[in-house]
Amino acid sequence: MNTKLLVRKFEQDGYLLLDNFFGPEPMRRLDSRILEHFGDDPAFLHTDEFLEKAKTDVIPWFPQDEGQNDFGLVDDNVELQHLTRAILGDAWHRLSCMVMFSKQGTMGQAWHQDCTPENAAQYNLNRLVYSSDIDDETGGQTVVVPGSHRHGLLPPGDPWVDLENQQILRPRTGTLVLLHGHVWHRVLPIRGRYRYSTNYRAVPAGTAANVTDVCVYRNMRYQFSTETVVEERTA
C-alpha cells in the first residue's frame, strides 16, 4: 500500500475503493452479526416525511453502542488507522460505527452530501466496509461523482437522475471504501434480499461530532436530530 499515492488520489477524487482490504473471516463475523440483528423484516425508523422526501430507505444500527465486540475487528486494523491518519491528520477522531440496512425492493439513497459543504475543512470521512458482494444483480451499488467534494453544493434538481461523470462502485466482500462526506453520492435501488454497509465514520480535528446532523439532498436540507426539513430546495 503506497500511502502517499492513495492520499493524493483521495484528495483528487474524494474517494478510494480498496478491494480485499479485509480478510474473509472478520467479514463473515460482521455479516452474521448484522443478519442476526436485522432478521427478515425490520421496521423503518425514520418518519414518513423523511422517507418520502429524501427517497432514502435505510435502517441504521449502532452495534458498538450495544457492546457488540466483533465490530472492533475493523476499528483495530492498523492499516486502516494509518490511512485514516494520512488523510485526516493526527488528531482525527472516530464517530459511532453505524450499519445501514436496506430491504429488497427499496429505493436505496438519493443523491446527497452527508454534511453541508460550506466549510471545506469540516467534513466526515465515511470508512465503509462491505461484508457481502454488491453487483448489478444485487443492486445497491454506490454511485459517486469523482472530485465533487471540491465543487461545493450539490445542485438542486431531480434526486435520482444520472449525473455527468458519475462512477458506479461495486464493492465486494472485504472492500473498503473511503468517501469524503462532501462528495455527491447515492445508492441505487436494492434488487437482492437486502443490502448493507458498515460505516466507521471519522472526522478531522476540530470537527464537531454532529457534523452530519444536516444532510444535503437535491430537494432539501434535512436535520436528523429534529427530524425536520430545514430548507426546501428547488431547481
Ligand X SMILES: O=C(O)CCC(=O)C(=O)O
Site of interaction with ligand X (CB under 6 A): 100, 109, 114, 126, 128, 142, 185, 187, 197, 199
Torsion of the alpha carbons at 96, 23, 76 and 199, rounded to the nearest 10: -10
C-alpha grid cell, residue 43: 421496521
Compute the least distance from the CB of residue 185 to ligand X, in Å. Answer: 6
- Interacting span for Fe ion (CB under 5 A) from 36-44, 111-119, 150-158, 188-196: 111-119
* Cβ distance to ligand X smaller for residue 109 or 131: 109
* Cβ distance to ligand X smaller for residue 77 or 113: 113
* Cβ distance to ligand X smaller for residue 83 or 100: 100
One of 114, 117, 169, 184 touching Fe ion (CB under 5 A):
114
Reference 18, options 33, 3, 35; nearest CA is 3
| Residue 13 is a binding residue for Fe ion (CB under 5 A) | no
C-alpha grid cell, residue 49: 416525511
* Cβ distance to ligand X smaller for residue 199 or 207: 199
Compute the least distance from the CB of residue 74 to Fe ion, in Å. Answer: 18
Query: 133, 27 in Cβ contact below 8 A?
Result: no
Measure Cα distances from 4 to 8, 64, 83, 178, 232 in Å: 6, 31, 9, 15, 41
